[in-house]
Amino acid sequence: MQHIIDRFISYVTVDTESDPNSDTTPSTAKQWDLANQLVEELKNIGLDDVTIDENAYIMATLPSNVDHEVPVIGFVSHFDTTPDFTGANIKPQIVPNYDGNDIILNKELNIVLSPNYFKDLLLYKGQTLITTDGTTLLGADDKAGITEIVTAMEYLIQHPEIKHGKIRIGFTPDEEIGRGAHKFDVAKFGAEWAYTMDGSQIGELEYENFNAAGAKITFKGKSVHPGYAKGKMINSMLIANKFISKLPKEEVPEKTSGYEGFFHVVGINGSIEETTVQLIIRDHDRKKFEKRKKLVQKITEKINRKFAKQFGEDIAIAEVKDSYFNMKEKVEPVMHIVDIAERAMNELGIKPLIKPIRGGTDGSQLSYMGLPCPNIFAGGHNFHGKYEYVPVESMQKAIEVIVKIAELTAEKK
């Protein structure tokens, strides 16, 4: 357990926050710090073909130790952390033998991780938790996944009696800003299928995710002295507000679950002359997803018609861009790869929690790039904020799942 804790802390204390406003890959130079550290570690534990390319994509190989043909499989995680909350100066706290009560993350700031609000905490009574100090995120998304993959490979190297085929591992930058798979070389990776270790609660096994798009709606206005503005001023911020008010009020993240899709306003920046609204669109059902995108365009067109005579041109412009699609379409034809993961969990006494991802992973894009890639739990909770935590026992179980998948894939039958 201490080995896992030490490895995990060595990763999370390196700031790897990604930046959606950057055009480079990786999007931040500091991601190289952990990437280079990982390359040396992979070499030190004894993996072959350890490479890192000009965009910081890392790959390595554990050679087969069986004499019969076995499918090449892979395990993938990302080393960046979200820009939603600061990942600088992370100071992890270890909570051994959690007693089920409130955890004081930061006494001075009165920040408390409480099971009264985060009920999942009670699943882990008696276990060892790693939390934040209340001022940063933790980075278990997805440095827990990296910890698990590296440790599993190390274990397989140290235990050659465990039979396995060739295994490829891959670590990516910029997953948190939707670019983790953009420059992933699937042909170079050379696996028949892979698993992202990027889920949350122990037991999670996912092969369905949202179809996703982003929308930017720009509203134009006319600034006139407010004392003489009647019939002349057009306040773009108020028009933007009208647009938002036309979106379905119940179809937002805080009011949806399961397979329910949503519209989510993630940013507004405006003045009288110009306002932009940033929106993300999500739905598991492809037809409903397409309808959501059309609704954004319809609301925009209706606003333009209303102001056409006064303004003389389109007052609102909507740009909608697809981000990723539901991996289910690519995984269902090869469902044996999900079955293997499910069997691995069952044999280890872990109850599989097969459910749709209310988000996306590198695996959703990789599946459409020719690498079917379901998602397996990494163990963390409350990602992207100061209440993030991970039970060490969940990381241990994830390591066991990786090893068991390798074993099951190597069976002749």
List, as residue ranges, the binding site. 78, 141, 176, 198, 384
Residue 48 belongs to what H/E stretch?
A: strand 48-52
Contacts of 110 (CB under 8 A, 6+ apart): none
Classify 377 as helix, strand or coil: strand
The percent helix, strand, coil of the chain (3-state, each to 5) is 35, 25, 40
**Direct distance between the N- and C-terminal alpha carbons of the chain, in angstroms, rounded to an integer:** 34
The three-state (H, E, C) secondary structure of 196-251, written as one string? EEEECCCCEEECCECEEEEEEEEEECECCCHHHCCCCCECHHHHHHHHHHCCCCCC
Catalytic residue among 80, 174, 206, 362: 80
Residue 95 belongs to what H/E stretch?
A: strand 93-95
CB atoms within 10 A of CB 254: 7
Q: How far apart are CA 185 and CA 75, in angstroms?
A: 14
Catalytic residue among 174, 175, 208, 388: 175
Which residue ranges are tagged as binding site for Zn(2+)?
78, 141, 176, 198, 384
Residue 266 belongs to what H/E stretch?
A: strand 262-270
Known catalytic residue at 41: no
Known catalytic residue at 154: no
CA dihedral 120, 125, 130, 133 (to 10 degrees): 80
Catalytic residues, which ones?
80, 175
